[in-house]
Amino acid sequence: MSVMAHHDIIADSPPTAPARRETAAGPPAAEAGGILTIDLDALADNWRTLAGRAMPAECAGVVKADGYGCGIEQVGAALSKAGCKTFFVADLSEARRLRPIVPEATIYVLNGLMPNTAPAYAELRARPVIGSVLELAEWDSFVAAQNWRGGAALQVDTGMNRLGISINEASAMAPRIRAENHGITLVMSHLACADEPAHPLNERQMALFREVRLLYRGIPSSLANSSGIFLSDKAHCDVVRPGVALYGVNPTPGQANPMRPVIELKARIAQVRVAARGDTVGYGATWTARRGARIAILPIGYADGYLRSSGSSDETPGGFALVGGKRCPLAGRISMDLLAVDVSELPEGKVRRGDMATLIGDGLPIDEVALAADTIGYELLTSLGRRYHRVYRRD
Q: Please give the chain's pLDDT, 395 residues, in tens.
A: 333 344 444 344 444 555 678 888 889 999 999 999 999 999 999 999 999 999 999 999 999 999 999 999 999 999 999 999 999 999 999 999 999 999 999 999 999 999 999 999 999 999 999 999 999 999 999 999 999 999 999 999 999 999 999 999 999 999 999 888 899 999 999 999 999 999 999 999 999 999 999 999 999 999 999 999 999 999 999 999 999 999 999 999 999 999 999 999 999 999 999 999 999 999 999 999 999 999 999 999 999 999 999 999 999 999 999 999 999 999 999 999 999 999 999 998 899 999 999 999 999 999 999 999 999 999 999 999 999 999 999 88
| This prediction's pTM | 0.92
Q: What is the DSSP letter of 261?
A: P
Q: What is the pLDDT of residue 19?
A: 63
The active-site residue out of 64, 68, 247, 378 is 64
Q: What is the pLDDT of residue 18?
A: 56
Write the single-letter amino acid at 330.
L
The active-site residue out of 216, 234, 266, 283 is 283
Which residues is 8 bridged to in the sheet? 23
Domains, the chain: 40-247 (3.20.20.10), 263-394 (2.40.37.10)
Q: How far is CA 378 from the centre of its chain?
A: 5
Q: Is 216 a catalytic residue?
A: no
3-state DSSP call for residue 323? Answer: strand
Q: What is the pLDDT of residue 349?
A: 87
Q: How many helices (H) and strands (E) does the chain have?
A: 11, 22
Q: Is 283 a catalytic residue?
A: yes
Q: What is the DSSP letter of 330?
A: B
Which residues is 187 bridged to in the sheet? 154, 221
Phi, psi dihedrals of residue 25, rounded to the nearest 5°:
-145, 160
Q: How far apart are CA 363 and CA 371, in angstroms?
A: 14
What's the farthest any 2 CA atoms get from each other in the chain?
A: 79
- CA dihedral 139→141→145→146, nearest 10 degrees, is 0
Q: How far apart are CA 72 and CA 92, in angstroms?
A: 13
Length, in residues, of the chain: 395
Q: How far apart are CA 163 and CA 113, in angstroms?
A: 11
